[in-house]
């Protein structure tokens, strides 16, 4: 994350996977989704992580062997 002048605003952020979606709002909140389905939300003004969670359960399908589709 860099300032408008090109200086690093905070230390390098390591997610362990490539970013596939990044967005930032006017309130200095940065949203990032990784290739592995991890969701991060940072408050860049305070340099704090607000959310660190997985979206994997939304993308995977669990098959129940006891029930069959009719």
Q: How far apart are CA 10 and CA 17, in angstroms?
A: 19
Q: How far apart are CA 42 and CA 49, in angstroms?
A: 4
Q: pTM of whole model > 0.75? A: no
Q: What is the CATH code of the structural domain delimited by 1-57?
A: 2.40.10
Q: How far apart are CA 10 and CA 36, in angstroms?
A: 24
Provide the pLDDT confidence category of residue 66 given band limits of 50, 70 and 90. Answer: low
Domain ranges within the chain, ordered by starting residue: 1-57
Calculate the average pLDDT of the chain.
85
């Amino acid at each position: 994350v860099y300032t408008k002048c090109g200086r690093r605003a905070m230390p390098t952020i390591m997610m362990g996977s490539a970013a596939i979606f990044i967005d930032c709002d006017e309130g200095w909140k940065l949203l990032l989704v990784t290739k592995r389905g991890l969701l991060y939300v940072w408050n860049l003004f305070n340099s704090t992580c607000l959310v660190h969670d997985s979206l994997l359960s939304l993308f995977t399908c669990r098959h129940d062997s006891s029930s069959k589709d009719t």
